[in-house]
């Protein structure tokens, strides 16, 4: 039994004409004798509108009711897709998460799928039906609706693909696949036909917006075959996200990601002794602040260090407030911050076996008089921090230097 899971994002179901196009895409898989399971997001703009409504009602809206409210968006798109399929002669119906059920654990607004009862859906697809399942949500042990947080519909689709042993999980979006970099910034950016889970995870975590980090992590952990395709141009080939192989290693660099949503904090004259880092990053962790790049410079006498780290720009003020409160415990002399920085990451599994990637980066930025503030590396990634006014230039020049347009 060949099962395929198709996920459609908010822009793909953004209006009636696009929903009609989505229905047509679904029928092409049925004609190829696939048993099709569809997972849909809410129509673009609906979720944001519901969030605004909750904020007008209460500044501390009950989290369980918040999830119930937001989950209603997917019901609309699922019903419309099923209605269109029925209209053109296909058996289809919408399935809400609690009707299946999709069981979750964890808190409201950030739940995780623990179990999916397959019986009802298997019976339905074996009868020739096309189930249209609400993404982004589930039901907990208290029979309350839960939502899965950012990237939740992708996560729903991947988990459904895993539980139903699907041959493929296809993520339909408004772009044709994964590109070597942002095509809005670099006009000759190329679509990547195949990319490893690790590379996609690094690109997603460093700012590439096609897939959410959490979704890629799930696909990699569950070994789910994942494709990214365009619902606007469904006849165009997409990008296959798969396990690493020798063919992928031939490409030294696969892509360049960037993020302008960065801020940096520097603590000066911090005592260089065991336990100090815990006093810095412990309170930040309790404040739900994610720290990314960390750099420590030790003084010549070995007594003090300057410690810099990056974090999301939106968390800067909150982080500063926490660190100032903890000043006596940490024992730093001075605190400085900057929010006019950006992060650029060069990613490729070929870095493991090819030398010279870092040298090309340093030469390219040096020729263009772009100063590097912080550098971090991993096996398949080099990330740098630069002044945000040079972001576009740096990405364009690096894309050219690594010949990613060819």
DSSP conformation letters of 176-196? SS-BSS-TTT-TT--B-SEEE
Both structure tokens of 22 = 């989505």
Q: Using the CB atoms, write b or e for 11-35: b if 16+ within 10 Å.
A: bbbbeeebbebbbebbbebbeeebb
Residue 263 shares a structural domain with residue 353: yes
**Is residue 233 assigned to a domain?**
no
Could you tell me the CA-to-CA distances from 367 to 347, 364, 370, 394 in Å, in that order?
A: 21, 5, 8, 11
Residue 303 shares a structural domain with residue 159: no
Torsion 134-81-131-86 (CA) sign: positive
Q: Helix 276-286 to helix 316-325 angle, to the nearest 10 degrees?
A: 130
CB 143 within 8 A of CB 102: no
Residue 267 shares a structural domain with residue 369: yes
**Is residue 270 assigned to a domain?**
yes
Domain final residue, candidates 120, 143, 174: 174
Coil/strand/helix, residue 150: coil
Q: Which helix (H) or strand (E) holds 271?
A: strand 255-271
Question: What CATH code is carried by the domain that includes residue 340?
Answer: 3.30.2130.10
Residue 16 shares a structural domain with residue 127: yes
Domain final residue, candidates 147, 174, 201: 174
What's the full length of the chain, in residues?
406
How many domains is the chain built from? 2
Torsion of CA 60, 61, 66, 72, to 10 degrees: -140
- Which residue positions in the chain have pLDDT lower than 70? 207, 245-250, 299-300
Question: What CATH code is carried by the domain that includes residue 157?
Answer: 3.40.1160.10
CB 44 within 8 A of CB 76: no
Both structure tokens of 388 = 């945000």
**Is residue 104 assigned to a domain?**
yes
**Is residue 161 assigned to a domain?**
yes
Q: Helix 357-367 to helix 391-401 angle, to the nearest 10 degrees?
A: 130
Residue 283 shares a structural domain with residue 149: no
Residue in 248, 242, 384, 253 with CA at minimum distance from that of residue 310: 384
Identify the pLDDT of residue 245. Answer: 65
Domain final residue, candidates 174, 200, 218: 174
Identify the pLDDT of residue 248. Answer: 59
CB count within 10 Å of CB 389 equals 11
Q: What domain range includes position 348?
A: 256-401
Residue 165 shares a structural domain with residue 260: no
**Is residue 131 assigned to a domain?**
yes
| Cis peptide bond upstream of 66, omega within 30 | no
**Is residue 11 assigned to a domain?**
yes
**Is residue 234 assigned to a domain?**
no
**Is residue 64 assigned to a domain?**
yes
Residue 147 shares a structural domain with residue 14: yes
Residue 269 shares a structural domain with residue 155: no
Identify the pLDDT of residue 273. Answer: 83
pTM value is 0.80
Identify the pLDDT of residue 184. Answer: 87
């Amino acid at each position: 039994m060949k099962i395929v899971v198709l996920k459609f994002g908010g822009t793909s179901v953004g209006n009636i004409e696009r929903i009609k196009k989505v229905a047509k895409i679904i029928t092409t898989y049925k004609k190829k004798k696939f048993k099709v399971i569809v997972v849909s997001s809410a129509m673009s703009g609906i979720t944001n509108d519901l969030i605004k409504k909750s904020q007008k009602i209460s500044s501390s809206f009950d989290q369980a009711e918040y999830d119930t409210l937001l989950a209603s968006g997917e019901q609309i798109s699922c019903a419309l897709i099923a209605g269109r399929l029925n209209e053109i002669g296909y058996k289809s119906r919408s399935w809400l998460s609690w009707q299946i059920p999709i069981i979750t654990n964890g808190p409201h607004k950030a739940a995780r799928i623990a179990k999916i009862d397959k019986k009802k859906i298997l019976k339905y697809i074996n009868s020739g039906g096309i189930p249209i399942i609400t993404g982004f949500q589930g039901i907990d042990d208290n029979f309350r609706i839960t939502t899965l947080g950012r990237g939740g519909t992708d996560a729903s689709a991947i988990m459904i693909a895993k539980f139903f042993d699907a041959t493929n999980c296809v993520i339909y979006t408004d772009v044709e696949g994964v590109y070597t970099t942002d095509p809005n910034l670099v006009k000759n950016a190329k679509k990547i036909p195949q990319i490893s889970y690790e590379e996609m995870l690094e690109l997603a975590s460093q700012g590439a917006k096609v897939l959410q980090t959490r979704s890629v992590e799930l696909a990699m952990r569950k070994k789910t075959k994942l494709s990214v395709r365009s619902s606007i141009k469904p006849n165009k080939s997409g990008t296959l996200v798969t396990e690493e192989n020798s063919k992928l290693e031939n490409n030294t660099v696969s892509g360049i990601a960037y993020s302008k949503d960065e801020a940096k904090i520097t603590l000066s004259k911090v005592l260089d002794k065991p336990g100090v880092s815990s006093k810095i990053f412990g309170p930040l962790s309790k404040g739900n602040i994610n720290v990314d790049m960390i750099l420590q410079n030790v003084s010549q006498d070995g007594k003090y260090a300057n410690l810099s780290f990056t974090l999301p720009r939106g968390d800067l003020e909150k982080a500063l407030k926490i660190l100032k409160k903890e000043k006596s415990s940490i024992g730093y002399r001075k605190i400085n911050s900057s929010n006019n920085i950006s992060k650029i990451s060069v990613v490729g599994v070929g870095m493991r076996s090819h030398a010279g990637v870092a040298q090309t980066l340093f030469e390219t930025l040096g020729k263009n008089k772009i100063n590097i503030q912080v550098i971090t590396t991993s096996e398949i990634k080099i990330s740098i921090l630069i002044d945000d006014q040079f972001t576009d230039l740096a990405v364009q020049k690096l894309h050219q230097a690594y010949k990613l347009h060819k």
